[in-house]
Amino acid sequence: FAGVSKFSVRKMIRFALDGVTAFSRVPLRAALYVGVLCGGMSFLLILHLLYVYLTGQALNGWTTLGVSILF
């Protein structure tokens, strides 16, 4: 078993990620839940942004920044 691997580092990392995701649904479901959570938070921030805009209040910079990052 001595010697030098013929796989590059990039190929070994890809092989490891395939090994983690190919035999389990957990990483895919975790990514789905994180995506749904970010989308939901973005939707709530959009509603907040619209409420603040329609009531004539000054908009905070973090609101538009948060929507643009999460969406």
For the chain, the domains span 27-71
pLDDT at 33: 94
Q: pLDDT digit of tens for each residue in the chain (71 aa)?
A: 678 888 899 999 999 888 878 888 888 888 899 999 988 988 888 898 889 889 988 877 777 777 777 76
Compute the half-sphere exposure of residue 58: CA atoms within 13 Å on the CB side of its CA.
2
pLDDT at 36: 93
Q: How many whole angstroms separate alpha carbon 21 and alpha carbon 52?
A: 42
**61 residue type, one letter:** G
Q: Cβ atoms within 10 A of the Cβ of 45, count? A: 20
pLDDT at 1: 61
pTM value is 0.58
Q: How far is CA 45 from CA 3, 49, 66, 68, 69, in A?
A: 56, 6, 7, 10, 11
